[in-house]
Amino acid sequence: MRKGIAVSPGVVVGTAYCIQEIFVPTDTPRLNADETVAEVAKFEVAQQKVATELRALREKVTLQVGCKEGAIFATHEAILNDPSFTNNVLERIQRQRSSAQAALHAFLMEYTASFSNKSSHDSFIRERLADVRDVIVRLSAHLSKILNCEDGPAIEGPLVVVADELLPSQAVALGNADVAAIVTQTGSRTSHAAIIARSRGIPAVCGVANILKQLHTGDAVVVDGSQGHVIISPDAETDKAYRKLEREFFLLRDELAENRDQPATTKDNAPLSLLANINNVDDTRAAVAMGASGVGLFRTEYLYLTHPSVPDEEEQLAIYRDVIDNSPNRSVTIRTLDIGGDKTVPYLGHRHQESNPFMGWRSIRLSFEHPELFTTQLRAIMRAAGYASEIGGEVSVMFPMVTTLEELHRVKRMVRRTTAELVERQHQHKVPRIGMMLEVPAAAVMIDSLLPVVDFVSIGSNDLVQYLMAADRDNPKVSHLCQPLAPAVLRLLSSVIRVCRQEGTPVTLCGEMAGQPRAFLVLLGMGLTSFSMSPAFVPSIKRLASLVTVDQARSIFHRASELRTTTNVNRFLHAELNRIAPDLAALELA
């Protein structure tokens, strides 16, 4: 049994499918002569497609972002067309009779090894490696579409995806594969893999070091996403025990989902708003199926992370309209681009490694530096808001990582300029409600000064916790400090919620905490009535809400606030949850 970080609850007994960033099926036989000729043709077709894509991308990025950023793709074109690169790959296909995918993978490994003795601090070498890798990954993505096979090798049983880190692009490449669980070597409860798993409502464990060296495609594996356990090749007794837990988990989940049409209220009938966090239109359908009352957070960065180039205004508008059409009550809160930290794209200048990226050039700070990119998104959002208004829905917009009042004033000026542009172009639009993500302690301290400038506040607890505790949530040495139920976090959240309620400003919490039963008890006790979470968690929180009164929650919060250590807070809330709803304890993360 291997121990990792529990990031999405539930138990699955399935079959491992191990993936790398370049998808190379395991145990691929050597090609015969005819297959080699066909493989060369596939590589050349992919090369032509990538060349066309890179030229278009260079022009688009230059126009929307800048000449310097667009030049990155001129470098990629040069690598793609370099005779030594092409000849190396073709030679591997023809002489070694390997697939184009395998040839690219081998070239990248060899190229990386050739620089292994060079200084890792040499920025030129780092960037050169990154450029070569980007070109190869782009070629690999096209080859995987050209191949006449499924996304991966045909294996039986529920599919357990095992990867170093499951990136958004990899998730897209998996297509409609029946993924039952996810295991990664790196990551945390707020990594891409965790977000993808929770949005799909499937068990997941992150941070299992070196699991790809011990687990191979086709191996039997157990994933316990509640406890963070991964069991390789379980014996008959272990297999039987976990299959029982698996059945119990899915029965509970199905039972909870039956409350989808019931209103979200406390035991004493106080109304609550249970919203969904989404990444794409598929998640909106899950939000409807789980009984969410709207979308409280649409993460638009996934549109950029999975797009082959820069999504233009019309492309964004089409996606936003699709999300609105499929969302519960056609109510959607759109967050503007939140790139940076652990989410980067090369065309936005993320070529130089920052010493502390989470506290660096990211989110609204990056948007300000690329005003054309930012206003393109604003135009699309405001046009989508006009569409929503026409069909009886509502779109709101919020801005990530706001730190100062000056930033909000700057945002409002850009909204006014964008409105003027849309009027001039005679586009149907509407100025949506404007909100801020509260993720920075400085903004929390000054919340009373910021509220007059916004229509609503959305607390992003994931970042707020790591900034407050001065601990990188993805660093295993200090991630234990990133506890949403730490006394300091509870005190700060209570203060923010109290001020928002006093000023009559709507406030929602849309971070990791919102879907945790223990955290829900104290947040409700603080006076919070609006929660946004992964769709899969809506039924369990709705169930818990129906079993507790507001007065009970207040009492629980006051008792928790008297405790001085995170351990004691967790113990107390775990005991309270077991007393109120013991069956929901299975959905808690260890």
Confirm whether 589 is domain-assigned.
no
Asked if residues 337 and 305 have their Cβ atoms less than 8 Å apart, the reply is no
pLDDT score for 153 = 45
Whether residue 439 is contained in a domain is answered as: yes
Whether residue 247 is found in the same domain as residue 304: no
* In a shared domain, residues 113 and 180: no
25-59 burial, b at 16+ Cβ within 10 Å, e below that, comes to beeeeebeeeebeebbebbeebbebbeebbeebbe
Beginning with the edge strand found earlier in the chain, give each strand of the sheet holding 159-163 in spatial order.
Answer: 2-3, 229-232, 220-224, 11-18, 159-163, 179-184, 204-206, 5-8
CB 260 within 8 A of CB 291: yes
The answer to whether residue 394 is domain-embedded is yes
Q: Which of 316, 306, 313, 280 is nearest to 295 (CA)?
A: 280
Same domain assignment for residues 189 and 293: no
Mean pLDDT of 340-358: 61
Is residue 574 predicted with pLDDT exceeding 60?
yes
Rounded Cα–Cα distance for residues 399 and 335 (Å)? 6
Q: For 264-308, what is each residue's pLDDT tens digit?
A: 999 999 999 999 999 999 899 999 999 999 999 999 988 887 776
Residue 174 has pLDDT above 90, yes or no: no
Q: Is residue 576 part of a domain?
A: no
- Which of the given ranges, 104-113, 219-228, 336-345, has the highest pLDDT on average? 219-228
Instruction: Identify whether 77 is part of a domain.
Output: yes
pTM above 0.85, yes or no: no
Q: Is the pLDDT of residue 21 over 70?
A: no
111: pLDDT strictly greater than 50: yes
Residues 9 and 59 placed together within one structural domain of the fold? no
Q: Are residues 238 and 289 in the same domain?
A: no
**Alpha carbon distance 148, 158 (integer Å):** 22
Non-local CB neighbours of 480 within 8 Å, separated by 6+ positions: none
- Tell me the per-residue pLDDT of 203-213, one tens digit each, with 9 for 90 and over: 999 989 889 88
Residues 286, 246 share a domain: no
Active-site option among 105, 192, 229, 350: 192
Among residues 253, 286, 311, the one where a domain terminates is 253
Tokens 């808690």 — which residue? 588
Give mean pLDDT, residues 121-128: 58
Structural domain for 45, as ranges: 33-146
- Give the closest residue to 249 by CA, choosing from 538, 12, 579: 12
Q: Summarize the confidence of residues 149-170 as an average pLDDT.
A: 68
Residue 215 per-residue DSSP state:
-
Quote the CA–CA distance of 345 and 57 in Å, as a whole number: 13
Mean pLDDT of 555-563: 98
Specify the CATH number for the domain of residue 306: 3.20.20.60
Residues 271 and 197 in one domain: no
Q: Please tell me whether residues 291 and 371 are part of one structural domain.
A: yes
Q: What is the DSSP string of 428-441?
A: -----EEEEEE-SH
- Write down the mean pLDDT value for the chain: 87
Q: DSSP 3-state assignment of 184?
A: strand
Q: How confident is the model at residue 151 (pLDDT cuts 50, 70, 90)?
A: very low
Any catalytic annotation for residue 482?
no
d(CA 261, CA 333): 22
Let me know if residue 375 belongs to a domain: yes
Same domain, yes or no, for 224 and 295? no
Residue 239 sits in a domain whose CATH number is 3.50.30.10
Q: What is the DSSP annotation of 339-394?
A: -BTTB--GGGTTTSPPSSGGGSS-HHHHHHH-HHHHHHHHHHHHHHHHHHHHTT-E
Residue 118 lies in a domain: yes
Question: Residue 224: pLDDT band by 50, 70, 90 thresholds?
Answer: very high
pLDDT 10s digits, 305-327: 777 677 899 999 999 999 999 99
pLDDT in tens, 454-504: 999 999 999 999 999 998 877 777 878 889 999 999 999 999 999 999 999
Residue with structure tokens 């519960």?
A: 328
For Cα atoms 516, 518, 520, give the angle at the middle one, nearest 5 degrees. 65
Q: Which of 18, 482, 500, 510 is catalytic?
A: 510
β-bridge mates for residue 340, sequence order: 343
Is residue 150's pLDDT more than 50? Answer: no
Give 148's pLDDT tier (boundaries 50, 70, 90): very low
Residues 442, 321, single domain; the answer is yes
Number of domains in the chain: 3
Tokens of 61: 């990025």
Query: Same domain for 482 and 543?
Result: yes
Predicted local confidence at residue 541, as pLDDT: 96
CATH number of residue 50's parent domain: 1.10.274.10
Q: In the structure encoding, which two tokens stand for residue 254, read together?
A: 């199905």
Based on the fold, state whether residues 309 and 452 are members of the same structural domain.
yes
192 counts as catalytic:
yes
8 A C-beta contact, residue 412 and residue 366: no
Q: Check residue 120 and give its pLDDT.
A: 47
Q: Which of 192, 226, 253 is the last residue of a domain?
A: 253
Q: Is 556 contained in some domain?
A: no
What's the confidence (pLDDT) of residue 562?
97
